[in-house]
Amino acid sequence: MAVTTSQDFTAILADIGVQVSYYAATRVIDPIYGSETVTLGTVATKTWVFRKKSSDIELKKWGIADIGDSYIMTPTTDIINYGDRIIYSGETYEYTPDCKSNEVRVGGVYMCNYYTLKKVAG
């Protein structure tokens, strides 16, 4: 059996990764009124695994409810925060507090990050 390394995800990115436009968000909360201001940074082009959610039915019949309209998988060096936006194929998605994330580990090796996203435009 082959040993799993973090380079295995690099091979996956080469096979099924796509280029997305990524905007990091800066969130500032007013200390007096509590209102939030979100500012998006400049665009960065990233190669990530991006998939749109195709159906609720297949997952729900097995008792799995995935929150989000799409998901991405990023290298371990790319971390997404609330408010960050991803644009792919003319559609805009955001990582919101309702979305889920986790570190994907295979054989105890930290391979990549998984994030669900909410569609906000497009």
- pLDDT for 37 equals 85
Position 121: which residue type? Answer: A
- pLDDT for 81 equals 94
Give residue 4's pLDDT band: very low, low, confident or very high (50, 70, 90). confident
Task: Write out the H or E segment, with its range, that includes residue 48.
Answer: strand 44-52
Tens digit of each residue's pLDDT (9 = 90 or more) over 29-70: 888 888 888 889 999 999 999 998 765 555 555 555 566 789
- pLDDT for 113 equals 94
Q: CA-to-CA distance for 34 and 29, rounded, in angstroms?
A: 6
**Backbone dihedral angles phi then psi of residue 58, each to the nearest 5 degrees:** -60, -40
Question: Is 90 exceeded by the pLDDT of residue 7?
Answer: no
